[in-house]
Amino acid sequence: MRLKLQMVVAGLVSLAIPIVGWHSIRQLDDALEESRRGEQQLRVNNAVASLSTNEPLMQLLQSRVGHTDGLDLYAPYARFPVFVDGYADDWREFSTPISKLTKSSDDLSRSTGVNVKSSVRNNTLYLFIDVADNNVVFHQPPPLVTDYAEGEEPDFYEQVVNGDALELLIQQPSGDTLHGLFRATAPGPVIARVASNSNRRKVGDRLSAWQGHWSAEATGFQLELSIPLPADGSTFGLAYVDVDKRGDDRTHWVGSLDPAVMAQRHRSNITHDADPKLHRVSNEAFDALSPWVTPATRARLFDAQGRLLADVSQLYEQDHTQTAFDPAKSNLWDALVFRFVSAMLRDRNGEYSADPLYQRVDDLHMPLSTLSETGPLKTARRYQTDEADFVMGTLGALSTAPVSGYLLFESNDSRATSYAGSRLAQLMSLLTLVSLAVGGSLLTFATVLSFRIRRLSKQAARAVSNDGRVNAFAPSSAKDEIGELSRTLSDLLGRTQHYTHYLEALSSRLSHELRTPLSVVKTSLENIDEAQLDDQTLKLVNRANGGAEQLGHIIRALVESTRLEQTVQQAQKGPIPVKAFLEGALIRYQQVHPTITFEAMADDVSDKQTVFASPELLQQALDKLVDNAVSFTSDNSISLGARTYNQNDTQWVIFSVNNPGQLSDKVNPTQVFDPMFSSREDAHDELHLGLGLYIVRMVAEAHSGHADMSQNGGVVTVSMAMPTNVHEVEDFTSN
């Protein structure tokens, strides 16, 4: 067991292979991470240097310096289609900055402000305008009266608009200005009209390319518009004209440009640099960024105010030169190892978080100028919630004094990590499999080695029986050290067995060889005429007769023990009534030993209870028990007993002989049944070779039973147990 435990420990030590491999993988991943970071920063530096030399692009950036009062309007690209229905449901699908236009006429109590969302899609400018007004006045066309006198016709401008209206001044791509308005007679679709006269248009002309939808709200109204896309950086003014009742002057407004100024710009067709501008994504900037974008990357260019010029994205496209491991298409083991490695490498990177860099970039209306304080480059990570990927971004500034724009370059870190992680996972899988193979081999070897040693140990333990006899020992044919040890033990036990057989046969040879000279001695002593001997000689002759007689007892005892071992194997067995057998033995012992008081106790044994045994052997064993008790009884009283009990579905009968006495402290109850054992300390005329209880044990074991000795108080009990049917139980000594 210790050897197996040691080999198990050795197998566990092999787990150091994947542990060391895991630390190496982490260090390798850190090195790859630094390499990716350095490569991306170098790429951004090169891109910034290239873009800074692009004169059209730099001119575009300089033109977008814009105003700091928040009157410019920025329109990002809409990722999803926009339906002009007057509701904001479409606008919730993408992040769009809200422009709060607070410039107004002197009376600010008439309206609290105008909030504008804008986006660009398919050469169309979309506006969602939320107006807070506690008193919305719809346009009502004046009735036409057929009997108007000369000079009494209604005002034409009042026929165009006499309620609340939204006016726009837009510089078209051709450079011409267009002044239009939206007014509604009721919630629903609205028609755009020209708001002021010019040399090309007159008030009230319909603008068919402009579409809108007016929807009422509790705090005012919402107006959703679609307008042909103006040029980037063109003049774009917006004003909400508020009236409390029809007929009031139209001088109260809130927005980015005075409606009167809009009319003036429309008539003169001339704009000023101070006018509010419309900024949007630029095709020129898109073309300049495209060469720097490869699969699994994305580049965005912002102006100094944080407004997006171009967004070129291949962030979720696969680089075919780097095929990452797909756990869904692999076996279970590789998938588990890959997910484990990916999770451990990801979780230990605390940089994956919401970085302020991204918070400012995603909220596009917030300026990025404060980021220049941290240096020309800043790299951070974030979790891309739309595709559940990790992204590493680097921010660089174009020019430095002052900063004219920012380049945000991003790479799909999940794709790069997945590619590297798949290779690392394969390495980790290989190390783990090697470790399991080494550990499993050591454990298998330890199990086989332990099993062979344990089997050899059991064979060696069974090679010598309790009475000292050597049993058969089958040697191993293995060519290793354990097989050699097994063959050495077999050879040693074989030589021991030959010597044991020699000793066992020695008693027969001695008894045969000593019997003839002993007969000569006894005959010679018997032929001596005792009458002719003096007293001294007679005493010597008598002593010689006693020695010869004692030597005869020794020879008979040796012959008896040898014959008994052979008789036990050949004895004929049959059913013996227990109670009748005990009663017959009691009568015989009372006759043989008249000075000893005998009694029998077999109350729990029925008259029909039998034991399957050899009558001669059973009688001989009981005789030895009684002879032993007669020798050691302290008050000349002996009791014979018989009782039955059940154990393991087998019924047993116990014959016992009890005599008053005390066992010596030097006597071990398990040794008294060994051959040649004797505990008699006082001398007796009769010879004792210590074979009596040994014969009892042989008889008991020949009947699948056992012998036992115990002491209870001042009574010594020697018993012999055997099953009632010897064919129904196994050999007791094998348990």
CATH for 314: 3.30.450.20
Residue 401 has pLDDT above 80, yes or no: no
Tens of pLDDT, residue by residue over 265-307, are 999 988 888 889 888 888 888 999 999 998 888 898 888 777 7
Q: Let me know whether 323 and 183 are in one domain.
A: no
For residue 424, what are its two tokens? Answer: 């690392």
Choice between 626 and 228, residue whose per-residue pLDDT is larger: 228
pLDDT digits (tens, 9 = 90+) for 499-518: 777 766 766 667 767 777 77
Percent of the chain's residues with pLDDT above 90: 14
Same domain? For 265 and 234 the reply is yes
Query: Is the Cβ–Cβ distance between 677 and 660 less than 8 Å?
Result: no
- Output the six-digit token pair for 137: 């006045």
CA 155 to CA 152: how far, in whole Å? 9
Phi-psi sector, 420: left (phi>0), alpha (psi -120 to 50), beta: alpha
Sign (positive or negative) of CA dihedral 474, 475, 478, 480: positive
Amino acid identity for residue 704 in this structure: S
Q: What is the pLDDT of residue 730?
A: 38
The predicted structure's pLDDT at residue 427: 67
Query: Are 132 and 219 in contact, with CB atoms under 8 Å apart?
Result: yes
Q: Answer yes or no: do 557 and 604 share one domain.
A: no
Is residue 175 within 8 A of residue 235, CB to CB? The reply is: no
Place of tokens 């044990």: 697
Burial class from Cβ neighbours inside 10 Å (0-12, 13-18, 19+) for residue 310 reads: buried
Which residue shows structure tokens 């103006």? 230
Q: CATH number for the domain including 195?
A: 2.60.40.1190
Instruction: Confirm whether 362 is domain-assigned.
Output: yes
Of the chain, the percentage scoring pLDDT greater than 70 comes to 71
Instruction: Tell me whether residue 432 is in a domain.
Output: no
Residues 516 and 630 in one domain: no
| Torsion 673-676-677-680 (CA) sign | positive
414 pLDDT exceeds 80? no
From 275, 290, 322, the end of a domain falls on 275
For residue 322, what pLDDT is reported?
54
- Same domain, yes or no: 243 and 322: no
- Quick one: 546 and 614 in the same domain? no
Partner residues linked to 25 by β-bridges = none
In whole numbers, what is the pLDDT of the chain averaged over residues?
77
| Nearest partner of 455 among 478, 435, 436, judged by Cα | 478
Sequence-distant (≥ 6) Cβ neighbours of residue 46 within 8 angstroms: none
What torsion do the CA atoms of 556, 561, 567, 573 make, to the nearest 10 degrees?
Answer: 110
Question: 168 forms bridges with which residues in the sheet?
Answer: 180, 238
Over 70: is that where the pLDDT of 727 sits? no
Q: How many CB atoms lie within 10 A of CB 369?
A: 15
Q: What is the mean pLDDT of residues 155-171?
A: 87
What average pLDDT score do residues 444-456 get?
81
Q: For residues 416 and 35, is the Cβ–Cβ distance under 8 A?
A: no
Assess whether pLDDT exceeds 90 at residue 211: yes
**pTM higher than 0.85:** no
- Is residue 667 a contact partner of residue 693, using CB atoms and an 8 Å limit? no
149 Cβ contact list (under 8 Å, min separation 6): none
517 and 665 belong to one structural domain = no
pLDDT at 165: 93
- 456 is a domain residue: no
Average pLDDT over residues 183-207: 92
In contact, 686 and 701? CB cutoff 8 Å: no
What are the residues whose beta carbons fall under 8 Å from the beta carbon of 442, sequence distance 6 or more?
A: 7, 8, 10, 11, 14
- pLDDT-derived band at 461 (thresholds 50, 70, 90) equals confident
Q: Are residues 320 and 390 in the same domain?
A: yes
| Cis preceding linkage at 402, omega within 30 | yes
Most trustworthy range by pLDDT among 142-156, 230-244, 435-449: 230-244
For residue 609, what pLDDT is reported?
A: 85
- Whole-number Å distance between alpha carbons of 100 and 160: 28
The reply to whether 371 and 498 lie within a common domain is: no
| pLDDT of 418 higher than 70 | no
Higher pLDDT pick, 163 / 572: 163
Instruction: Tell me if 443 is assigned to some domain.
Output: no
DSSP state of 80: S
Sign of CA dihedral 505, 510, 516, 518: negative
Q: Specify whether 134 is located in the same domain as 194.
A: yes
Please report whether residue 452 resides in a domain.
no
Q: How far is CA 463 from CA 468, 489, 501, in A?
A: 9, 10, 15
Query: What's the whole-number mean pLDDT along residues 475-492?
Result: 83
The CA-based angle 72-90-312, given to 5 degrees, is: 65
Helix axes 692-702, 535-570, angle to 10 degrees: 10
Do 409 and 331 sit in the same domain of this protein?
yes
CATH of the domain at 662: 3.30.565.10
Distance (Å, rounded) from C-alpha 140 to C-alpha 134?
A: 19
Is residue 383's pLDDT more than 70?
no
Find the mean pLDDT for residues 127-145: 85
pLDDT of residue 355: 47
Is 394 found in the same domain as 507? no
With 80 as the cut, is the pLDDT of residue 12 above it? no
Domain ranges, residue 309: 2-61+282-426
**C-alpha to C-alpha distances, 82 to 92, 293, 335, nearest whole angstrom:** 11, 28, 42
* Spatial distance between the Cα atoms of 396 and 377, rounded to a whole number of angstroms: 5
CATH number of the domain residue 490 falls in: 1.10.287
22-63 confidence digits (pLDDT tens):
666 667 667 777 777 888 888 888 998 899 888 888 888 887
194, containing H or E segment: strand 188-194
Residue 310: inside a domain = yes
Residue 332 is predicted with a pLDDT of 63
Burial class, 151, CB count within 10 angstroms (exposed 0-12 / middle 13-18 / buried 19+) = exposed
What pLDDT score was predicted for residue 365? Answer: 38
Helix (H, G, I), strand (E, B) or coil at 240: strand
- What is the pairing mode between strands 610-613 and 650-660? unpaired
pLDDT at residue 610 in the model: 86
Q: In what order do the strands lie in the sheet with 706-712?
A: 597-601, 637-647, 650-660, 715-723, 706-712
Both tokens assigned to 234: 């063109």
How many Å from the N-terminal Cα to the C-terminal Cα in the chain? 23
- DSSP letters for 83-106: --SS-STGGGGS---EEEE-EE-S
Final residue belonging to a domain, choices 547, 569, 591: 569
pLDDT tens per residue across span 420-430: 455 666 666 66
660 domain-assigned: yes
Q: How far is CA 474 from CA 447, 459, 465, 484, 496, in A?
A: 22, 8, 16, 13, 15
Cα angle, residue 176 at apex, residues 174 and 181 outer, rounded to 5°: 120
pLDDT of 116 > 90? The answer is: yes
Specify the pLDDT at position 371: 47
What is the mean pLDDT of the segment spanning 326-331? 56
Burial class (CB in 10 A: 0-12, 13-18, 19+), 131: buried
Given 229, 244, 275, which residue is the final one in a domain? Answer: 275
Whether residue 440 is contained in a domain is answered as no
Split at pLDDT 50, 70, 90, the class of 207 is very high
Total count of domains within the chain: 4
DSSP 463-515: HB-TTS-B--------SSHHHHHHHHHHHHHHHHHHHHHHHHHHHHHHHHHHH
Read off the tokens for 255: 């927005």
